[in-house]
Amino acid sequence: MGILSRFKDIMSSNINALLDKMEDPAKMVDQYIRDISDDLGKVKAETAGIMAEEQRQKRLLEECKAEIDKYQKYAARAVQEGNDDDARAFLTRKNELSASLPGLEQAYALAKDNAAKMRQMHDKLEGELNELTARRDAIKAKAAVAKTQEKINKIDDAMSSAAGSISAFDRMEEKVDRMLDTANAMAELNKDSGEELKDLEAKYDRKSADVEDELAKLKAELGK
In tens, the pLDDT along 156-193 reads 666 666 566 666 666 777 776 777 777 776 766 666 55
> What DSSP designation does 191 have?
-
Residue ranges in the chain assigned as alpha helix (H) = 2-11, 15-20, 25-80, 84-189, 193-222
Mean pLDDT value across residues 73-87 = 92
Q: What is the pLDDT of residue 64?
A: 93
Q: What percent of the chain has pLDDT over 90?
A: 27
Higher-scoring residue by pLDDT: 64, 47 = 64
What is the distance between the alpha carbons of residues 12 and 167, in angstroms, rounded to a whole number?
A: 56
pTM over 0.75: no
Residues in the chain: 224
What is the distance between the alpha carbons of residues 177 and 47, in angstroms, rounded to a whole number?
A: 86
What is the distance between the alpha carbons of residues 175 and 143, in angstroms, rounded to a whole number?
A: 48
Q: What is the pLDDT of residue 172?
A: 73
